Amino acid sequence: MRPRATFKQISRSLMDSWISSPDGLGNPEDIYGPFCKLARPNMVLLVVDVRATNPLDFGIDVIQGYRLPTGLADIGTLQRSRSFADVPDTKYLNETVIPAYVGAVQRQRPTMGRVATRVLDTVIGYDQIILPQKNSSGRSEWCIGLLDIHFLLPAASKDGSLDDVDLTILQLLAEGSSTKEIASASNLSHRTIEHRIDILKSRFQARNIAHLAVLSVSAGLGGIVAKDP
């Protein structure tokens, strides 16, 4: 089977298409159209109408949504948005989304960045490229956005009451260690570690050990916002 195109490869092709596009191009599909079939199911392709003066009135047209199976409802909620004003998480909108698109419009240059943040009850991490319409006679009328989503995790809050043993357990679980290996590293009995894990699952409301490890990682990522590495 032929390997699927990577985000880096698709982004490069989109950039080449953008560079060769004419000034004032009316239809953004002329740029993204040839690459729709290359987008993988963890990618989101959208076009944002940026003609409005108020960014909250920017329109969103999701050309291809996130297609991997997930029980997280937030991703579906976000993809149903039809304008920035419809995005249900105003902090994410104002701190991450609006600055990225307004900046691209003002510069009329493609921008790339990396984001890891919390959106509603989901922790999300993705790379993105934004390509604004070239328009030497005025401001851009549209932007193409391509997101390569690396992870979607159920959000969890940090628990400041965790002791050193709890932190050790969570760290080693995230590394894939077994309960016996954790017991050996902690100089505690296997039964003690199992009891501790049961308590942690209850505190994090985790369904199983794998879910506990994911929630512990999510708790640490939830407050991070990283852009333009």
Q: Say which CATH number the domain at 206 has.
A: 1.10.10.10
> Which residue type, as a one-letter code, is found at position 127?
D
Question: Residue 172's domain spans which residues?
Answer: 164-221
> What is the number of domains present in the chain?
2
| Domain final residue pick, 119, 154, 189 | 154
Question: Would 228 be classed as within a structural domain?
Answer: no
Nearest CA among 165, 153, 141, 113 for reference residue 7: 113
Q: Are 51 and 135 in contact (CB under 8 A)?
A: no
Sort strands 142-154 and 59-64 into parallel, antiparallel or unpaired: unpaired
SS3 at position 80: coil
| Domain final residue pick, 103, 132, 154 | 154
| Domain final residue pick, 154, 172, 201 | 154
Assess whether 20 and 107 both reside in one domain.
yes
Residues linked to residue 122 through DSSP beta bridges, in sequence order: 119, 154
pLDDT at 221: 62
Q: pLDDT tens across 41-94, in order?
A: 999 999 999 999 999 999 999 999 999 998 887 788 788 889 999 999 999 999
Question: Would 226 be classed as within a structural domain?
Answer: no
Q: pLDDT tens across 197-226, in order?
A: 999 999 888 889 999 988 888 887 654 443
Question: Would 60 be classed as within a structural domain?
Answer: yes
